[in-house]
Structure 1
Amino acid sequence: MDVSAEDGTPNQAGYRRSTGSPRGEARRRDLLDRVSEDLAANGLVDFSLRRAARAAGTTHKVLLYYFDGADDLLAQAVLQLREQRVERAWAVATEGPGRRTPSQWVRAVWPDLVGPQARVLEQAIGLAMYDPDRYGALARGASEQYLPVLLAVCPEHWSAERGREVAEMVLAALRGFLVAARTSDDTSGIAAGFEALARALEREEAG
């Protein structure tokens, strides 16, 4: 994967990272939105400042005016996509008249987690595993962001310890299913495993 500046400019000399003004911040957010949309649609493979510039309708030098290089832009775009997915997870947890249970939440949120536009987040975790010194921040805290959502849908009579245990189990299982979904074509096996998780949660909720 190429995340180099591709312009031969050492340390992006001569470019400012931010204007520090409301107008400049609005411009930075617009550029970030466009790059994030490109990542969601096309993934991380062959990501570079020049590709990001094409997606944003600008030049790589303009991106270097607002961001501290390719790695900084990539990290911010991945974080934005992750925050959007967590927001959707919260929406699933709170929509409807009643309180969702963990099993209901898992069933409702799974299509979004495994959807094609979410693959970039799993790719980011893989990149962090490949080069943790450079890209570790892309994966740091990724699963933990879902803990508050899961704890919010746990039955009120559960103890804090029980809720945490179930939440950690769900996150670990979903991570495994997502890896399998991105790296194999065993759709029936993944579906069977997911159903087993949902049924296990239903039994836990009934107990």
Structure 2
Amino acid sequence: MARPLNVEKRSELLEQVVQYLQLHGLAQMSLSPLAQAIGTSKRMLLYYFGSRENLLAQVWAARHPDAHALFDDVDDTDGLRRAASALWEAITVGEQSGPVRLLLELLSLATTDPDQYGSLATESIEALVNPIEAAFLRLGHQPRQAQAGATLLVSGLRGLCQDRLVTQDTARTDAAARQLIESVVTVAG
């Protein structure tokens, strides 16, 4: 009989993996050096997470912006504006500013290695777009308009976030984010 997983140990390992990946990135991630760096073994990582791919999925699940928490209560354009602004803040200066770097790297890797990263990248995008699309639907938009508005908001903010990380130009990217949000909200209104 297999012994049950130590949930605390798994959680602790996951946090260490997240910290490691935020410093070192995903591209060259190999389980053996990762395990050594965080003081465990490759065998233990496989025991707790099953595979490299599942570990990456767990990292993203533990640290992605919770678009549901931000957008599920949106029922008017002011709520949409507030939620979109909160998403921008979360990915640039808030608790998601570190993990969003992993998302940007994941999306980049998915374009060159879709077999390894494509499905996780797609799931990551859908985790952001779907709750925002649902908010647009609640505001009375047709499904295609709702999907397009949510995609514009997510992709636009993500691109501006990447721009900000590269250039460190917070004033310009904040102004562009406000303009993007306002244009999306205006269309939603």
TM-score class, shorter-chain normalisation, is: 0.7 to 0.9
Aligned length: 182
* 1:179 aligned onto 2:162: yes
* 1:168 aligned onto 2:151: yes
Alignment of 1:81-92 (within 5 A): 81-82=63-64, 85-86=65-66, 89-92=67-70
| Structure 2 partner of 1:10 | none
Alignment of 1:47-196 (within 5 A): 47-54=29-36, 56-82=38-64, 85-86=65-66, 89-93=67-71, 101-115=79-93, 116-118=97-99, 119-154=101-136, 156-161=138-143, 162-196=145-179
- Letter of the 1:172 partner, please give it: S
1 CA distance for matches of 2:54 and 2:187?
42
Q: Residue 5 of structure 2 is aligned with which of 16, 24, 28?
A: 24
Higher helix residue share: 2
Do the aligned partners of residues 92 and 71 (structure 1) sit closer, same or farther apart at CA in structure 2, a change above 3 Å counting?
A: closer
> Normalising by structure 2, what TM-score?
0.73
Do the aligned partners of residues 156 and 182 (structure 1) sit closer, same or farther apart at CA in structure 2, a change above 3 Å counting?
A: same
CA contact (8 A) 1:35 1:77 kept: yes
Identity %: 26
Q: Runs of 5+ in structure 1 lacking a partner?
A: 1-18
- Letter of the 1:192 partner, please give it: A
Q: Secondary structure at the residue paired with 1:139?
A: helix
CA drift at 1:106: 1.0
- Letter of the 1:149 partner, please give it: P
Q: Secondary structure at the residue paired with 2:123?
A: coil
Do the aligned partners of residues 73 and 172 (structure 1) sit closer, same or farther apart at CA in structure 2, a change above 3 Å counting?
A: closer
* Structure (1 or 2) with the larger CA radius of gyration: 1
CA contact (8 A) 1:103 1:199 kept: yes
* 1:39 aligned onto 2:21: yes
CA drift at 1:90: 2.5
CA drift at 1:147: 2.7
Over the residues paired in the alignment, what is the CA RMSD in angstroms? 3.2
Q: Runs of 5+ in structure 2 lacking a partner?
A: none
1 CA distance for matches of 2:45 and 2:138?
48
Q: Secondary structure at the residue paired with 1:141?
A: helix
| Structure 1 partner of 2:184 | 201
> Normalising by structure 1, what TM-score?
0.68
